[in-house]
Amino acid sequence: MKSLSVRLARAAAAVACLGGMFSLPQSTTPPFPVPARSQASQKTPPQSQAPKQTGGQVIFSRSTDENGDTTTQAGPAAQPSAHPTGAPTAQDAERQAITYTAFDMDVHLRPAGHQIAVRARMNLRNDTRTPLAHVAMQISSSLNWESIRVAGRDALYQVALLNSDADHTGQLREATVALAAPLAPGASLDVDATYSGAIESNARRLLSIGTPADVALHSDWDQIDTAFTGLRGFGNVVWYPVSSVPVLLGDGAKLFNEMGEHKLRMAPAHFRMRLTVEFPQGEAPTVAIINGHPAELTVESPGTDEVAGVATAESESAPLGFNAPSLFVAIRKAHPGDNLTAWTTADNEVNVQLWIDAAARVTPFLQGWLGQRPRAQLTLLDLPDRADAPFESGALLATSLRDGGPEPLEGAMAHALTHAWMQSPRAWLSEGVAHFMGTLWIERQHGREKALTALAVGRDALSIAEPPSPGDGSGQPLALATTPVYYRTKAAYVFWMLRDIVGDAALSAGLRAYDPLQDMGPQSTPSLFERLLEQAGDRRDLKWFFADWVDADRGLPDLTVDSVYPSAAEAGNWLVAVNVSNSGYVTAEVPVTVRTYDTSVTQRVRVPGRSSVSRRIILQGRPSEVQVNDGTVPETESAVHITHIQEAAAPAQ
């Protein structure tokens, strides 16, 4: 009978043959205890997940010190650590100073024991103007730091539990590393860290704010398990090192803003992984997905019941883009389709064809707008439970592939497949185009009015988020947006406006010509997409639009129809003078429509911020009403303005 050390050596050898650089953390005890074989975890809330008190003893508490930093006091129920755990010593300014520019990860999973061991080699840069004497790094509180080396030498570090809902446990384990010499502004250093622990389904952060247990566990479904491993990254489970400011759910939108800021700062970082999965006999994984991209699995069958099999996979170094690092490993069956592969559980073997058929119906529409071939294949990953919250990362959609009607499945595929075509590192392009195409599909199926109604669902939230004036807040320039209401809702509006300004053909040509590989690095002015759009159509100057709507945040327009003056002209023609003012700070180009009982005339009118314009429109017949904006331009208040002309009379009988 072979021992655990033999099994671990075999797994380590499998990884070594991939990169020749991996070694399991050196310690007096193996990184994995001997686990009993476990079945797939059930979605029942463990008693230890909820904050509780026993005999008046506090399990954990959250507080804020006089500097505004979150501090933690942990009781005896806190997870054990390989190093003594004390109070946090890092300051928020130190946590915000670090930008990760590269990850080289060796990840070893033992799903039967819910366990992970990681060696992470990283490059960290000081993005402040102040030298750093310390570097603070965090992982999930269910994981333990084992060793940290800086510039090839063992480093001294202190470990603390930090309250933050960026992880599903509600806490992060922070290592504050004392540097031998201060890290100069703009300088970088190499860090080599090892850590390990268990990641099980845990909804403590949601339960602590009163979320019903069933809802909480179907939202926080991240775990390591034999049939399904899903690690969504920062904001769900922090399985890789980060440097973040602690944020709590219920404190406005701070958690979601921090999640967006994390992805924005990490977007240029290159990420590489070598993955080893140790599995029980007969339970080999069939799919691995790293950062939204399928990775080929090489499976070595076990020799005996006592020796685990080993599966390995590797991802090449590539920029993360606007996606948190994620890892999925599962036992699923593959179903190929047009531009996609669906990986299903046995329960959804029949339903998957509905999804594949929906994708086939949507594909010609997307090809007409975005080109014949996507840049990647869409991956559909069946989640364990039909109630689990969906998750998407690039060209990955993890959701329950249950049965559904054609209309909702087509809408989901229009959005998800767009990500297979539009692989942009810019959030407003990646998410905005996907949201835009989803509403265009509604227009195709049900008409423009229904599409604009769907678009308007997020307008109130956008209006609340936008500052009343540039002086009242900076808002979020779309090019650097970190909040979904900007890079999804506002971006979708931007594409609707661009569509009306340049036309369908020019917008489609700009989207087809866009190459994400040419759009890496800092945002340029004018942006790559702006240049492509100007080259694609007759309108050569879009600087005014991108300056106000993309490169800066000047809020939303606030239009008013000040007056309408109709007057009869010759041969039954009428001349209508329309005066429109804009009390907002952003330029808006809106459609102005004058209607009679039989016909209408529409002209586009550009209204600069804090100004007014007058437009004269000639039409045949007596005018009955004037409409300014049709809902395509988001405004602070109403996005449609209709003025009835009193002098209008009904047509003679």
pLDDT in tens, 560-575: 999 999 999 888 899 9
Residue 86: its pLDDT value, please? 78
Distance of CA 28 to the CA centre of its chain: 40
State which amino acid sits at residue 572: G
Residue 523: its pLDDT value, please? 82
pLDDT at 49 over 70: no
Give the tens place of pLDDT for each residue, 583-628.
Answer: 999 999 999 999 998 999 999 999 999 999 999 999 999 999 999 9
Give the tens place of pLDDT for each residue, 115-134.
Answer: 999 999 999 999 999 999 99
Query: What share of the chain in percent tops pLDDT 90?
Result: 76
Mean pLDDT score, 499-521? 94
pLDDT at 18 over 50: no
Residue 651: its pLDDT value, please? 43
Residue 89: its pLDDT value, please? 85
Name the segment(s) of the chain with CATH classification 2.60.40.1730: 4-39+56-331
Residue 473: its pLDDT value, please? 77
Mean pLDDT score, 307-320? 92
pLDDT at 305 over 90: no
Mean pLDDT score, 432-459? 96
Distance CA 565, CA 575 (A): 8
Which residues 6+ apart lie within 8 Å of 416 measured at CB? 378, 380, 392, 395, 397, 434
Distance CA 529, CA 513 (A): 9
Please tell me which residue, 534 or 303, carries the higher pLDDT value.
Answer: 534
Over its C-alpha atoms, the chain yields an Rg (Å, rounded) of 28
- What are residue 224's phi and psi, to 5 degrees? -110, 120
Name the segment(s) of the chain with CATH classification 2.60.40.10: 559-644
Q: How confident is the model at residue 36 (pLDDT cuts 50, 70, 90)?
A: very low
Q: How confident is the model at residue 304 (pLDDT cuts 50, 70, 90)?
A: low
CB-based contacts of 65-68 (< 8 A; 24+ apart in sequence): 67/91, 67/92, 68/92
Mean pLDDT score, 498-507? 96
Beta strands at 70-74 and 153-154: parallel, antiparallel or unpaired:
unpaired
What is the residue-wise DSSP string for 351-407? THHHHHHHHHHHHHHHHHHH-SS-SS-EEEEE-SSTTSPPEEETTEEEE------HH
Please tell me which residue, 359 or 45, carries the higher pLDDT value.
Answer: 359
Give the tens place of pLDDT for each residue, 69-90.
Answer: 433 333 333 344 446 677 888 8
What's the CATH fold of domain 559-644?
Immunoglobulin-like (2.60.40)
pLDDT at 472 over 80: no
Q: How confident is the model at residue 17 (pLDDT cuts 50, 70, 90)?
A: very low
Beta strands at 98-110 and 270-279: parallel, antiparallel or unpaired:
parallel
Distance CA 547, CA 473 (A): 17
Give the tens place of pLDDT for each residue, 186-232.
Answer: 999 999 999 999 999 999 999 999 999 999 999 999 999 999 999 99
Strand order in the sheet with 600-607: 600-607, 588-595, 625-630, 640-644
Q: How confident is the model at residue 20 (pLDDT cuts 50, 70, 90)?
A: very low
Place of tokens 């819910």: 114
Token digits for 435? 């949201």
Give the tens place of pLDDT for each residue, 86-95.
Answer: 788 889 999 9
Mean pLDDT score, 464-468? 90
Q: How confident is the model at residue 301 (pLDDT cuts 50, 70, 90)?
A: confident
Distance CA 608, CA 616 (A): 18
Token digits for 306? 């006592």
Please tell me which residue, 419 or 67, carries the higher pLDDT value.
Answer: 419
Give the tens place of pLDDT for each residue, 333-351.
Answer: 999 999 999 999 998 999 9
Q: How confident is the model at residue 647 (pLDDT cuts 50, 70, 90)?
A: low
Q: How confident is the model at residue 32 (pLDDT cuts 50, 70, 90)?
A: very low
Q: Which of 552, 584, 583, 587 is nearest to 474 (CA)?
A: 552
Residue 303: its pLDDT value, please? 57
Other Cβ atoms closer than 10 A to 309: 20
Mean pLDDT of the chain: 86
Residues in the chain, how many? 653
Right CATH number for 4-39+56-331 from 2.130.10.10, 2.60.40.1730, 3.30.479.30, 2.30.40.10?
Answer: 2.60.40.1730
Which pTM was predicted?
0.84
Please tell me which residue, 647 or 584, carries the higher pLDDT value.
Answer: 584
pLDDT at 270 over 90: yes
Q: How confident is the model at residue 639 (pLDDT cuts 50, 70, 90)?
A: confident
Distance CA 91, CA 188 (A): 20
3-state secondary structure of 307: coil
Residue 72: its pLDDT value, please? 35
- If you average pLDDT over each of 56-60, 310-314, 536-540, which comes out highest? 310-314
Cβ pair 402, 384 in contact under 8 A: no
